[in-house]
Amino acid sequence: MTSQGSRQVKELAGTVALVTGGAVRVGRAIALGLARQGADVAIGYHRSVAAARATVAELRALGVRAAALRADIARPAEARRLVTDAARQLGRLDLLVNNAAVFVRTPFAETTPAQWERLVGVNLRGAFFCSQAAARAMGRRGGRIVNIADVGAARAWPAYIPYGVSKAGLLMLTKGLAAALAPRIQVNAVGPGVVLLPEGFPAAPRERLTARIPMGRRGHPDDVAAAVCFFATCPDYITGQILFVDGGATAI
Ligand SMILES: NC(=O)c1ccc[n+]([C@@H]2O[C@H](COP(=O)([O-])OP(=O)(O)OC[C@H]3O[C@@H](n4cnc5c(N)ncnc54)[C@H](OP(=O)(O)O)[C@@H]3O)[C@@H](O)[C@H]2O)c1
């Protein structure tokens, strides 16, 4: 956000964003970050009904319009409906943030077909079909898509192969969509490092992970939100790019 004297210019005023998985954690921070820039925000949720209501209240308290829409984006028809309903409820669509994901530990020998199906179905196929519907909903005016990837798209984690594959696929989806949708729609990706570990993540590996980060600390959800806001407002000549927000983790 830029400032002119004491008055803040809200660069996204008059625009509408949809953040999948926007009720909780990183997605919630992204939704609030966009709203602080003036965007009206729809959030997609799956199971977090109460959190979705609370986040919508927080968004409205920032003075923007907001809506929460339930969908299981692993089902292509629901993914498409989420996007078209968001555009219908808020009147247009300018930005889609493909944030919803599942993160499950899947040791190689124990990984099941159902786990593959769920990880790739939500993280990659869900983002694809949300993007397909968004490209239609954005119409001739165009818009932007930001995919939330992970450093795990570029670094191999042996106990999380399907998750890493889904996020690596999301990076190629970013490039493919950027090429397919230019010049109407810009498509970029943010690759967070360690931000919020899953609840109950054991302390010892958490400290080991943190010690390996050149910045010496975990990231904050607002760091990810800032990168999304950058791609929402940057020159439209920036497309097909991946911005790691990882305290330097992918630099070493
Ligand atoms: N947290 C980190 O440190 C970190 C690091 C790197 C990358 N990332 C990426 O950043 C994003 C957000 O991370 P997070 O930790 O905040 O994720 P999270 O806590 O696991 O939340 C994921 C969101 O995805 C939604 N979701 C899951 N399955 C869904 C489905 N079938 N249909 C629709 N929505 C579904 C959930 O909705 P409900 O809660 O409503 O069910 C939830 O809001 C993810 O893409 C993640 O891979 C996170």
Q: Give domain status of residue 219, yes or no.
A: yes
Distance from residue 205's CA to the centre of ligand 1 (Å): 20
End-to-end CA distance of the chain: 31
Q: Tell me the pLDDT tens digit for each residue of 205-219.
A: 899 999 999 999 999
Q: Give domain status of residue 158, yes or no.
A: yes
Q: Which residues line ligand 1 (CB under 6 A)?
A: 20-21, 23-27, 44-48, 71-74, 99-103, 122, 148, 150, 192, 194-196
Q: Which residue has a Cα nearest atom 47 of ligand 1?
A: 101
Distance from residue 52's CA to the centre of ligand 1 (Å): 13
Atom of ligand 1 nearest to the CA of 121: 31
Q: Which residue has a Cα nearest atom 7 of ligand 1?
A: 150
Q: Tell me the pLDDT tens digit for each residue of 51-91.
A: 999 999 999 999 999 999 999 999 999 999 999 999 999 99
Q: Give domain status of residue 252, yes or no.
A: no
| CATH number of the domain encompassing residue 97 | 3.40.50.720
Confidence of residue 1 (pLDDT cuts 50, 70, 90): very low
Does the predicted TM-score (pTM) go above 0.85? yes
Confidence of residue 182 (pLDDT cuts 50, 70, 90): very high
Q: Give domain status of residue 4, yes or no.
A: no
Number of structural domains the chain divides into: 1
Maximal CA-CA distance, the chain: 60
Q: Give domain status of residue 45, yes or no.
A: yes
pLDDT at 2: 44
